[in-house]
């Protein structure tokens, strides 16, 4: 494994953990038992990456072929189950972790798509799908409208992170720093949109 591929796998595992933690914390807040916490953590952590791999034809998905992904998701769920109240004291952990996971998965999903020969537009879309898939399933499992469908900036933040990767690839820039920049861009836009009340455009005919 090259240094770059090891770096990207590290980002993917970090994204798996933080998304799993966001799912586990949401489950704890909803009063779910241990099985529910682990299920929600696993769904949030792995759904986006599994969707990415299936669309790329990389089967079985890495989440199933490599035990470290499942172990990482379970570790995130157990962390939320055992230390949820302590993590909640940090402020808005689900929001922050979700924003970080969004950036990490947008970057790794886009990068993997490019490595499989997809063109830039398809790679952008796959990066966004990777980023929003787990969060969408997590929200659906607790009967919430997925954040990607709400008025908040969500998919657009993932698109920005993926666009940084595509731009760096087109310009033959170092991919490691570009990946970190993409994560930071998506993370920052997501948090700023919540803090400033920014939203994606809505139809003038939609009911508020």
Each residue's pLDDT, cut to its tens digit, for the chain (208 residues) gives 566 678 888 888 999 999 999 899 999 989 999 999 999 999 999 999 999 999 999 889 988 999 999 999 999 999 999 998 888 777 777 788 889 999 999 999 999 999 999 999 999 999 999 999 998 999 999 988 887 887 568 899 999 999 999 999 999 999 889 999 999 999 999 999 988 888 777 777 766 5
**Does 205 reside within a domain?**
no
In a domain, 203, yes or no: no
3-state SS, residue 144: coil
Residue 94 lies in a domain: yes
Cα 3 to Cα 142: distance, rounded to the nearest angstrom: 39
Per the domain annotation, does 208 fall within a domain? no
* Domain span holding position 169: 3-196
Q: Is residue 103 part of a domain?
A: yes
27 occurs within a structural domain: yes
Query: What total number of domains does the chain contain?
Result: 1
- Helices in the chain by DSSP H: which ranges? 3-29, 34-56, 62-65, 67-88, 93-115, 120-141, 155-170, 175-196
DSSP H or E run through 182:
helix 175-196
């Amino acid at each position: 494994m090259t240094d770059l591929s090891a770096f990207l796998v590290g980002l993917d595992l970090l994204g798996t953990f933080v998304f799993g933690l966001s799912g586990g914390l949401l489950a704890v807040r909803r009063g779910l038992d241990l099985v529910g916490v682990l299920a929600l953590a696993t769904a949030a952590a792995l759904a986006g990456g599994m969707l990415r791999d299936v669309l790329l034809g990389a089967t079985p998905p890495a989440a199933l072929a490599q035990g470290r992904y499942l172990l990482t998701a379970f570790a995130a769920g157990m962390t939320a189950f055992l230390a949820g109240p302590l993590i909640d004291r940090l402020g808005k952990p689900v929001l922050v972790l979700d924003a970080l996971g969004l950036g990490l998965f947008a970057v790794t999903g886009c990068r993997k798509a490019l490595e499989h020969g997809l063109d830039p537009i398809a790679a952008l879309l796959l990066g966004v799908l990777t980023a929003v898939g787990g969060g969408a399933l997590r929200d659906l499992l607790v009967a919430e409208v997925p954040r990607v469908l709400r008025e908040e900036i969500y998919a657009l933040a993932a698109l920005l992170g993926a666009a940084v990767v595509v731009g760096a690839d087109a310009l033959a820039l170092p991919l490691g720093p570009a990946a970190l920049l993409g994560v930071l861009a998506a993370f920052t836009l997501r948090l700023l949109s919540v803090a400033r009340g920014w939203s994606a455009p809505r139809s003038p005919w939609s009911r508020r």
